[in-house]
Structures are given as C-alpha cells and as structure tokens.
C-alpha cells in the first residue's frame, strides 16, 4: 500500500472514531431539556357516617383518614373517633365510615320522684287518682316506701318493684 493511501485510511478511521466518540459524548454536553413538573396523583375517596358533609372527595396522594374527615367538614359531636385510625393512609376508590358513639343504655324504669302523672299512669294498676297520691307522697328513698301511699299494698308493690326506682 502506498503511504498516501495509508494516510487517508488512517484519517478516515480516526475521523470515524472521533465521530462515534462524539456521538456518545454529545448528549452529555448538550443542555438537557427540563422535564415537566411532577404531577402528584390524586385520590378519590368517599366518607359516610358521622361527618358534617358526607360524600366523595378528591384528596392528594398520601392523604390520611384525618385529612378526609377535615375535607368533609369535620366530625359530628356524635362521632366516636376512638374507633378510627386518623393517620391511616387512604387508597383510591375506597369508602370510609366514621362510626357513631354507642347509645348509652338508659334505665327504662320510671323514677317515683321525677315522673309525671302521665308516666305514673302508664304503670300497671295505677290510675289518675293513685298517680296523684304517689306525687303527693314524694320524696321516696326506696321502692318499699310506696306502701305508705293509700291504695298500694304488697301485691301492687310486687307488680311495680321492677318497673320503678326512687
């Protein structure tokens, strides 16, 4: 091979190597396009129960049960927040329930010292006249004191014992 042809081939290979090297380096040297700002996905969640405004809400990704309650206007006074985990993360499409406080059991017995005439008349064997005598004999410190009311004997007392309190 002649020297001139060898110099051209060398120049050609050297140019090719530089071009390939430039091809690999060029992207690193050029300014990078700025990516669009990241969009955080949102959650669509429903809440029912003891909140001011039950319904569906759109919240940011990572929102908690407490965030959902806040979005719904807060919890009602009747809500039992001890039964929920406020820091629990929400998932898209779920429905949450805010429970109500359990109703306290009320004593269904009638108070001899506080009952109205109508309440006393609802008791078996007690009419308007006997109810008026019970009211007149107040206060009672025990159910057995009903026997001091004229018209109430041991049979009537036994019938009323489980239905009244002093």
Domain boundaries, the chain: 42-98, 110-165
Query: Is the backbone peptide bond immediately before 14 cis, with ω within 30 degrees of 0?
Result: no
Model confidence, pTM:
0.43
Q: Which residues pair with 79 in a beta bridge?
A: 100
C-alpha distances (whole Å) from 139 to each of 62, 108, 146, 165 are: 62, 20, 10, 12
Least confident piece of the model among 11-20, 55-64, 105-114, 126-135: 11-20
Q: What is the CATH number of domain 110-165?
A: 1.10.150.320
pLDDT at residue 98, rounded to an integer? 93
pLDDT in tens, 44-101: 999 999 999 999 999 998 899 999 999 999 999 888 888 889 999 998 989 999 998 8
Compute the distance between CA of residue 123 and CA of residue 112 in angstroms, rounded to an integer.
11
DSSP character string of 1-37: --HHHHHHHHHHHHHHHHHHHHHHHHHHHSPPPPPPP
């Amino acid at each position: 091979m002649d020297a001139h042809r060898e110099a051209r081939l060398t120049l050609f290979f050297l140019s090719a190597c530089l071009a390939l090297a430039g091809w690999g380096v060029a992207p690193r040297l050029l300014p990078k396009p700025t990516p669009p700002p990241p969009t955080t996905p949102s959650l669509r969640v429903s809440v029912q129960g003891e909140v001011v405004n039950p319904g569906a809400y759109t919240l940011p990704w990572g929102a908690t049960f407490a965030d959902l309650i806040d979005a719904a206007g807060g919890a009602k006074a009747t809500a039992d927040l001890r039964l929920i985990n406020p820091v629990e993360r929400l998932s898209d499409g779920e429905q949450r329930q805010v429970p109500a406080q359990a109703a306290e059991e009320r004593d269904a017995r009638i108070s001899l010292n506080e009952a109205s005439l109508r309440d006393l008349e609802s008791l078996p064997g007690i009419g308007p006249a006997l109810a008026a005598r019970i009211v007149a004999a107040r206060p009672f410190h025990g159910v057995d004191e009903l026997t001091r009311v004229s018209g109430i004997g041991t049979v009537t007392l036994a019938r009323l014992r489980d239905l009244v309190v002093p």
